[in-house]
Amino acid sequence: MSYFRTLALAATLLTPGFAHADEVTDTLKSALSAYEEGDLSYALEELEFAKQLMQEMKTADLEKFLPEAPDGWTREISNDVSTGMSIFGGGSGSEATYSNDTESFTITIMADNPMVGALSGMMANASLMGIKLERVGRLKYLNQDGELSGIVDGRILIQASGADVETMKSVLAEIDHRGLEDFGR
């Protein structure tokens, strides 16, 4: 079975509950049709578009892990972080800014980006490098001058910056770290 036929079969098996599932299926069918007609340029273009749609679905799933705002705070979600991730090797990302009357901070979650692996190595050697670690539940976060960075399952980066460490830790504690381990699988 050809690569394009496999993609078309996968597209037909997509769960209807996804917001873009029909558009993804249509786009993959269009790619297959263009391939069969010999229009490889358009087939590749359609595959890239299908990939983008599925990446948006994955980003929406990642957004669910951003905690609600604590009492007296607001939360504003931005998915712009995924747009810039292609420069750094791809992956998914979502970000929320938490604000009250006097301060704000940001939590960013990035999944399946090659840069995350580099940070994993840094965390393993944090004590040798004199970097302070903060524990939030079962997860350890690097504390680099008040910016917290943690790694889940060796492939998902969580970063928090902008407020005092204890405030950020209290919100980070609300993240389903164990649920993140299953993200994208």
CATH code, domain with 155: 3.40.1000
Same domain, yes or no: 46 and 91: no
Total-model pTM = 0.70
The position carrying tokens 């705002």 is 69
Could you tell me which residue, 87 or 145, shows the higher pLDDT? Answer: 145
66-84 confidence digits (pLDDT tens): 999 999 999 999 866 655 5
Same domain, yes or no: 54 and 74: no
Average confidence (pLDDT) over 101-128: 81
The whole-number pLDDT of residue 73 equals 96
Average confidence (pLDDT) over 131-160: 90
Partners of 139 in the β-ladder: 136
Same domain, yes or no: 80 and 116: yes
Coil, strand, or helix at residue 96? strand
Same domain, yes or no: 48 and 98: no
The whole-number pLDDT of residue 185 equals 65
Average confidence (pLDDT) over 7-36: 67
Same domain, yes or no: 83 and 159: yes
Same domain, yes or no: 71 and 91: yes
Q: How confident is the model at residue 12 (pLDDT cuts 50, 70, 90)?
A: very low
Same domain, yes or no: 46 and 73: no
Same domain, yes or no: 78 and 41: no
Domain that holds residue 9: 3-62
The whole-number pLDDT of residue 83 equals 55
C-alpha span between 176 and 71 (Å, rounded): 19
Please give the mean pLDDT across all residues of the chain. 81
For the chain, how many structural domains are there in total?
2
Average confidence (pLDDT) over 20-37: 85
Q: How confident is the model at residue 168 (pLDDT cuts 50, 70, 90)?
A: very high
Average confidence (pLDDT) over 53-57: 74
Q: How confident is the model at residue 118 (pLDDT cuts 50, 70, 90)?
A: confident
| Alpha carbons within 13 A on the beta-carbon side of 165 | 14
DSSP at 157: E
Residue 45, token pair as written in the block: 């273009």
